[in-house]
Structure formats: C-alpha cells, structure tokens
Amino acid sequence: MHIAILGGGHGSYAAAADLAEAGHDVRLWRRDAAALAPVAERGSIVLKDARGTREVRIGAATGDIGAAVREAELVVVPTPAVAQLDIARELAPHLVDGQVVFLPPGTFGSFVMAEAVRAAGSRAHVLWAETGTLPYLARKHGPREVNVSARAVRLPTGVYPARDAARALEVISRAYPSVHACGDALSGALMNAGPVIHPPLIVMNAAPLQHFERWDIHAEGTQPAVRAVTDALDRERIAVREAFGYRAPHYPLADHYTSDRWMYGDAHRQLVKSGDWREHIELHTHRYVREDTELGLAFLASAARAAGVDAPVAHGLLALTGAFLGRDLQLGPRTFEALGLASLDRAALAERLYDGVPLRGAATA
C-alpha cells in the first residue's frame, strides 16, 4: 500500500521505518529540509528494537507534501496536535476522494483537521480517524535513527464522519492490524491517553523538572500519590465516555501499570527500562503541556461540561497549569465551546459526527 507519513518526530520516524519494513511503499514528509537531509541522502532510517538494529529503506523522504501524499491510500500524521492545523492547511490542496488520514493519537484532530481542510476550500471526500495513543513507544537516537521500545497491540479508533468507519478501518488495518472500531471521532478522542497520564506527571513533578537537568517522570516521577491523581482523572474520562453513551472497553489507564490489557500490553516496564524518557522537560513549551494539557485536557474538561459530568481533577489540573503558565486554559482552542459544539444537544452532536456535514447554524472550526 502507498502510505504517506507526515512529521519529523519520534513517532513519524518509527512509523516510516516500521511500515516500510512491513513491505509498504512509504514516503516521509518533513517541513525542516535540513533535519530531513540525512534520511533523504541515505534513503533509509536505522530502526532499533528488541530484534536488534537494522537499516530500513523507505520509498522517499521529501519536503514536498504534495509529492508525499500523491497516490497515498493512507496518510499517517503522528505529530503533536499543535501542528495539526498547519498540516491541514498544507494538505488541503492535495487531498483527493477516498484517502484516509490517520491521527495516532488525535486530540479530536480528526474533526479539527477536517474542518480546516473544508475551510481551505477542499471538497475532497476524505476519511479522518484517530486513536488513543501513538502506535510506538519510541525515541530518536540520531538524525535518522529511532529506537522502538514497544508497539501497540490494541488501537481503539474513531472515524469522522462515522458513516465511513468500515472503509477507514479496513484501510488502516492493512498498516496497523491492531486497530479496532470504537465509534465516532469523539469516542476516539476520549480514548486519548496523553491528557490523562501527562498533566498529573507535569504538575506533580514541576519542582524536580525545574531543578534537575534531566528527570524521568515515568520512573521516579511516578509515585503512588501521582498514580492516585491519574486514576481519579481517568475515572472522570470514563464517566464522560459513559455519559455520551460510549460503551466499554474504555481502556482504563491503570491497566497500563498493572496488567497486559492496555493498548501497549505489558509495556510500562520496557518504557522505564529503556531510559529514553530521562529527558529535559521545559514546563512552558514541552508537548506534555502544549498538546496534552492546553489542548487535550482542556478538550476533556469541556466534554465533561457538555456531558454534565463533574470533573474537579481535570479542571483543577488546568487551573494549576494555567497558574504557572500565566494564562487561563479553561476555554482554549480545542474545547467544545471554541469548536461550536457546546450548543448542540446529544442527538445533534451525534448526527454531526456521523454525517460530517455542518448543521444549519452550527459553528465550524
């Protein structure tokens, strides 16, 4: 299958190497030409995992997004949510009917990117999908080298518009057999683990993160008090899912730490053992703040408001993060209010997500 991978981070390089090794024709796009040059010049990525280290050739590495997505049946966008709008605007002129765009994970980006592409003038019938986590626990070890500590074994995936779910999942499953249907885009967004695991780790480790040059929030930063807050926040997420009518499995985050039932299976020990997450985290700019808190947690809190679910932990973590950032995060750009969805009743919202057509008088992103 022809697959385009958009982005230059850990997940994009892992996806490009992994899917190329699986036999797909992969084209990797990255905006930063200088950073992409080592891959473009060698035509390969060095992939490291439990099987060892090997060089994997990819079809192309290019700074031309049109060339990357041309004839691609699947477009994978494993980038932080903060990059999605810019990518959507660059993608808009090049998308064609029937293409599937997969966001692992999405932070409701399937809806946001679709609306941005429509606003940019594209009328292509594109299928948008998002899942709850990146398919890889991965970190880059060099300009064209990526280490994969674990691969996801379950990827609950929502589709926008939901009426196209069967077709989208069929395409994605050829690249990622671990995908399975979880409903519409809102259900997929409410599977996102980042806004649950990372905000408590950031807020409750703020002092050591600012004191030490490098700190592993997944090892010494994950203590019982942090876990208790994470579990409470995750119960709020699950309550929101149930209030919107979504059924189990909800993939409670506690399973990530205590069993093999979570999306990565029994992978937390591999994550800690790898040492790849002992890193410098700048509290004002790191993606755990800008993506998972400012966008993802604010989205979850707004979904709770829309569903009538009490979510004191979500709102409290947003207030604390906003305090050290110096700005209010409650009504950010990725909330129901900002996206024009807060005024829709449950039936109208479900119809909007199923058909993908803006309701008369409804706001668009």
Contact 152, 133 (CB under 8 A): yes
Closest CA to 311 of 190, 159, 158, 186: 190
**CB-based contacts of 102: which residues, under 8 Å, 6+ apart?**
74, 75, 76, 77, 129, 130, 131, 157, 168, 172, 175, 176
Angle CA(155)–CA(156)–CA(158) in degrees, nearest 5?
A: 125
Return d(Cα 284, Cα 136) in angstroms, integer.
Answer: 25
74-76 and 60-62 beta bridge pairing:
unpaired
In 3-state terms, the chain is what percent helix, strand and coil (to 5)? Answer: 45, 20, 35
- Round to the nearest angstrom and report the end-to-end CA distance of the chain: 32
What confidence score (pLDDT) does residue 258 get? 87
pLDDT digit of tens for each residue in the chain (365 aa)? Answer: 999 999 999 999 999 999 999 999 999 999 999 999 999 999 999 999 999 999 999 999 999 999 999 999 999 999 999 999 999 999 999 999 999 999 999 999 999 999 999 999 999 999 999 999 999 999 999 999 999 999 999 999 999 999 999 999 999 999 999 999 999 999 999 999 999 999 999 999 999 999 999 999 988 999 999 999 999 999 999 999 999 999 999 999 998 888 888 999 876 666 766 777 789 999 999 999 999 999 999 999 999 999 999 999 999 999 999 999 999 999 899 999 999 999 999 999 999 999 997 644 333 44
pTM of the model: 0.95
Contact 146, 138 (CB under 8 A): yes
The encoded tokens of residue 266 equal 């029994």
Return d(Cα 147, Cα 241) in angstroms, integer.
Answer: 34
What confidence score (pLDDT) does residue 270 get? 67
The encoded tokens of residue 311 equal 């979510």
**CB-based contacts of 334: which residues, under 8 Å, 6+ apart?**
81, 107, 108, 112, 294, 295, 296, 298, 299
The two counts, helices (H) then strands (E), for the chain are 16, 14
What confidence score (pLDDT) does residue 135 get? 97
Backbone angles phi, psi at 27, to 5 degrees: -120, 125
Contact 282, 178 (CB under 8 A): no
What confidence score (pLDDT) does residue 267 get? 66
Contact 334, 298 (CB under 8 A): yes
